[in-house]
Amino acid sequence: MVGSEVIKMIEELNEHYDVVVIGGGAAGLNGALMLARARRSVAVIDAGSPRNAPAEGVHGLLGREGMPPGELLERGRGEVRGYGGQVVPGEVDVVARDGDDFDVTLVDGRRTRARRLLVTSGVVDELPDIAGLREHWGIDVVHCPYCHGWEIRDQAIGVLALGPLAVHQALMFRQWSDDVVFLTHTAPPPTVEDVERLAARGIPVVNGEVVGLEVDDGRLSGVRLRDGRVIARSAVAAAPRTTVRGAFLDGLGLRPVEHPAGVGNFIPSDAGGGSDVPGVWVAGNITEPMSQVGASAAAGAMAGAQINADLINEEVRLAVEAARDPFSAKAARDPFTADAESIVSGRAASARRTVSERPQRE
């Protein structure tokens, strides 16, 4: 009974937070961790659909090399909760400005408010309609050489042309295997210069639309073209267009734009994650769709620190205003000027937290 009550409390949303984080991947959790350690009240709303869920392991992340993505996120959730943050399952439907705050409404009708938002909801890979491609996505159909190159080293790789970076992708994967072919699929034929570059690296160009994957004993064995030819391959590299998960931001006027590299759309931000809308930060693939887990986590940490600094600046400004005119109506109703201790939000809650609730060192 006690366990179920704890879970229920974790899933309940409070009425108000310093920061609501929308998205429970590496960027969102690391941002929330920074904020919770800064004694901010923070809730992560996690839709539970991470982009890298099909992958067997996370790579290029020091100290966590090869860890299954689900395990990494579970550890992250525990760390955030250990510092008093909340991680709540749910999907955000609408975000709206309400005075100085943001009103966040979930699909199931739950609502909360926040002084600041960190949006880390990521992107969706728009896979083409090729038989078998989705089923093998993240296994032997991959997109990133740094995420999967080692796992398919020395294999027969087919690079599927899905966008303007396809030739670049083929030249990249050539570092991991000397058996790479370039599949034009439905893309325009490569330029004379690109054909020369591919040929110089021993990468033949195969024209024709790819309509399906050939699979033997659950593993990829080739790609089938519309004309009936089968090109023997044990791995396919494909970089599909990515689309931002951010329709809930429309009410704020924050909409994605086309990425300059032509890989899809994204939400622009400054170096610290600040968006064009005051009070809203973004981090991870929603603003840099080609970032790996480590880079996304780092961006989340940076955004969390920037948000905390912004809140501190606001609290100092309000405290100065109240000190100058302590009898003003504004000072009387402002919770951040009632006393010195309340300037740092969540301090009372932090004082009640026991050492045993904090994450243990490994």
CATH code where residue 140 lies? 3.50.50.60
Residue with tokens 């504004």: 330
Residues spanned by the domain of 223 = 128-239
Verify that 95 and 185 share a domain, yes or no: no
Verify that 42 and 96 share a domain, yes or no: yes
Verify that 332 and 252 share a domain, yes or no: yes
DSSP category for residue 362: -
Number of domains the chain is built from:
2
Q: For residue 108, which amino acid is it?
A: D
The pLDDT, as a whole number, for residue 325 is 87
End-of-domain residue from the set 219, 239, 259: 239
Query: How far is it, in rounded angstroms, from Cα 235 to Cα 180?
Result: 10
Apex CA 189: angle with CA 183 and CA 192, to 5°? 115
Would you say residue 362 lies in a domain?
no
Verify that 226 and 270 share a domain, yes or no: no
| Whole-prediction pTM | 0.88
237, 270, 242: which is closest to 256 by C-alpha? 242
Angle subtended by helix axes 192-200 and 166-173, to nearest 10: 10
**Pair of tokens at residue 267:** 């939400």
Q: Identify the burial level of 208 via C-beta atoms within 10 angstroms of its C-beta, where 0-12 means exposed, 13-18 middle and 19 or more buried.
A: middle
The pLDDT, as a whole number, for residue 291 is 94
Would you say residue 144 lies in a domain?
yes
Verify that 98 and 156 share a domain, yes or no: no
Contact 229, 102 (CB under 8 A): no
Q: List, for the chain, all residue ranges whose pLDDT scores fall below the cut of 50.
A: 1-9, 337-357, 361-362
The pLDDT, as a whole number, for residue 91 is 97
Query: How far is it, in rounded angstroms, from Cα 218 to Cα 49?
Result: 24
The pLDDT, as a whole number, for residue 326 is 77
Contact 162, 241 (CB under 8 A): yes
Verify that 85 and 140 share a domain, yes or no: no
End-of-domain residue from the set 239, 262, 278: 239
DSSP category for residue 25: S
Considering just the CA atoms, what is the radius of gyration of the chain in Å?
A: 24
Q: Cβ neighbours of residue 72 under 8 Å, at least 6 residues apart?
A: 26, 58, 61, 64, 293
Would you say residue 346 lies in a domain?
yes
**Pair of tokens at residue 93:** 């439907």
